[in-house]
């Protein structure tokens, strides 16, 4: 499977869909209704209420929507990696890795605010790494800030992604204070509209406008399967990080900066997990994209495919076991 997805073949797009269907078909067999958490913000509550009115409390449509979101995110992520040459040659490993990574924890296959945020932040990451060569930085930075601001209206802990905008400007752009101010303006822009809505609905109060941020430690894994899932997230990440570090000298400056930004993305995503402790692991999915990039590197760079294949099939069969038999 590694050898197949390592090639840039148009038929691999269909194969990736089949691969996703095999790993995630269990979500159609045991669909789960989304649950509101106290960290979910106004925009997500509005979306969820609208979908529940359409789906009439049926869990299967939410499972279908979740699958389509995850597959779309994988495809978008793969396209971005190929376009910006994150790996030396175009391939389908990033998309494959994203599908596999998002299957390692069962809660990541639930419809949730963090799942919607992933679509926004994958696109934001694309805009961030494009800052290196953009001819219209002001518009790009404002749009990045706007998307991050929208993410906070879906999920309150996403406010940590304001730090990612700062990291992106530090890594990708020379220091210009006006660009930093434009980024902050874009980040706060959605709140101007929220302020107007709260005012006309007689709910205008600073507690309803300013997100509450409380840092907590995440809950320890509640089962051996969750522990193994986290281990299979971290181990390929370490291996991929080792190979990326070894190959940095062969990469273009733009690609090196992109990998640095991916690491910064992971750090900020971990901060999202630490804000306003959730009762499930759904919020951990914000780490999926940077993890998938380093997993893809672990599958791509080794000269001999024996160990990458073994690692992939261990992860693959672990996913089959937890999704179909646990």
The residue with tokens 């998307």 is 147
pLDDT of 317 > 80? The answer is yes
> For residue 232, what are its two tokens?
């299979």
Q: Which residue in 84, 124, 60 sits closest to 286, CA to CA? A: 124
d(CA 99, CA 122): 14
Q: Which residue in 104, 82, 65 sits closest to 5, CA to CA? A: 82
Q: Residue 88, SS3?
A: coil
Q: What is the mean pLDDT of residues 292-319?
A: 91
Q: How much is the pLDDT for 5?
A: 85
Extract long-range pairs of 319-323: CB within 8 Å, 24+ residues apart. 319/23, 319/100, 319/103, 319/104, 320/23, 322/106, 322/225, 322/229, 323/23, 323/24, 323/26, 323/27, 323/103, 323/106, 323/109
Q: Which residue in 323, 309, 285 sits closest to 101, CA to CA? A: 285
pLDDT of 326 > 80? The answer is no
Q: What is the mean pLDDT of residues 181-197?
A: 89
Contact 275, 160 (CB under 8 A): yes
Q: In this predicted model, what pLDDT tens digit does every residue of 4-48 receive, in sequence order?
A: 888 888 788 899 999 999 999 999 998 889 988 888 888 999 999
The residue with tokens 């790009």 is 140
d(CA 124, CA 108): 20
d(CA 252, CA 243): 16
d(CA 129, CA 121): 12
pLDDT of 209 > 80? The answer is no
When divided into structural domains, the chain yields a total of 1
Q: Structure pTM?
A: 0.93
Categorize the per-residue pLDDT at 204 as very low, low, confident or very high, splitting at 50, 70 and 90. confident
Categorize the per-residue pLDDT at 103 as very low, low, confident or very high, splitting at 50, 70 and 90. very high
Q: How much is the pLDDT for 19?
A: 94
- Residue of 93 and 133 predicted with greater confidence: 93
pLDDT of 69 > 90? The answer is yes
Give backbone dihedrals phi and psi of 275, rounded to 5 degrees, phi first: -90, 130
Q: In this predicted model, what pLDDT tens digit does every residue of 239-284 receive, in sequence order?
A: 999 999 999 888 888 899 999 999 999 999 999 888 876 667 888 9
Q: How much is the pLDDT for 8?
A: 81
Q: How much is the pLDDT for 278?
A: 65
pLDDT of 137 > 90? The answer is no
- Domain holding 143, by residue range, is 2-324
Phi-psi label, residue 111: left if phi above 0, alpha if psi -120 to 50, beta otherwise: beta
Least confident residue range of 61-70, 93-102, 249-258: 249-258
Q: What percent of the chain has pLDDT over 90?
A: 60
d(CA 286, CA 114): 6
Give backbone dihedrals phi and psi of 46, rounded to 5 degrees, phi first: -65, -45
Q: What is the dihedral of CA 183, 81, 89, 255, to 10 degrees?
A: 20
Q: What percent of the chain has pLDDT over 70?
A: 98
Contact 10, 84 (CB under 8 A): no
Q: What is the mean pLDDT of residues 160-187?
A: 92
Q: What is the dihedral of CA 86, 311, 122, 178, to 10 degrees?
A: -60
d(CA 254, CA 39): 36
């Amino acid at each position: 499977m590694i050898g197949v997805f390592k090639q840039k073949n148009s038929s691999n797009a269909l194969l990736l869909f089949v691969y996703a269907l095999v790993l995630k078909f269990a979500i159609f067999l045991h669909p789960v209704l989304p649950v509101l958490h106290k960290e979910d913000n106004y925009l997500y509550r509005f979306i969820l209420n609208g979908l529940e009115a359409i789906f009439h409390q049926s869990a299967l449509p939410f499972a279908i929507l979740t699958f389509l979101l995850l597959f779309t995110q994988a495809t978008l992520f793969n396209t971005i990696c190929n376009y910006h040459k994150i790996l030396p040659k175009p391939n389908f490993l990033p998309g494959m890795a994203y599908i596999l990574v998002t299957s390692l924890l069962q809660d990541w296959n639930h419809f949730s605010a963090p799942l919607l945020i992933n679509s926004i932040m994958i696109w934001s990451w694309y805009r961030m790494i494009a800052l290196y060569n953009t001819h219209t930085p002001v518009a790009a930075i404002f749009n990045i800030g706007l998307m991050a601001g929208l993410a906070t209206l879906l999920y309150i802990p996403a406010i940590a992604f304001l730090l990612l905008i700062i990291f992106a400007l530090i890594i990708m752009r020379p220091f210009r204070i006006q660009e930093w101010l434009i980024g902050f303006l874009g980040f706060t822009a959605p709140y101007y509209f929220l302020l107007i809505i709260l005012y006309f609905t007689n709910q205008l109060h600073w507690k309803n406008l300013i997100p509450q941020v409380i840092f907590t430690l995440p809950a320890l894994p509640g089962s051996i399967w969750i522990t193994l899932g986290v281990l299979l997230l971290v181990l390929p990440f370490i291996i991929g990080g080792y190979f990326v570090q070894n190959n940095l000298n062969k990469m273009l400056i733009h690609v090196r900066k992109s990998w640095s930004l991916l690491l910064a993305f992971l750090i900020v995503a971990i901060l999202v997990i630490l804000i306003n402790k959730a009762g499930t692991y759904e919020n951990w999915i914000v780490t999926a994209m940077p993890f998938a990039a380093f997993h893809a590197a672990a599958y791509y760079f080794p000269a001999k495919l024996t160990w990458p294949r073994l690692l992939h099939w261990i992860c693959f069969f672990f996913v089959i076991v937890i999704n179909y038999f646990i």
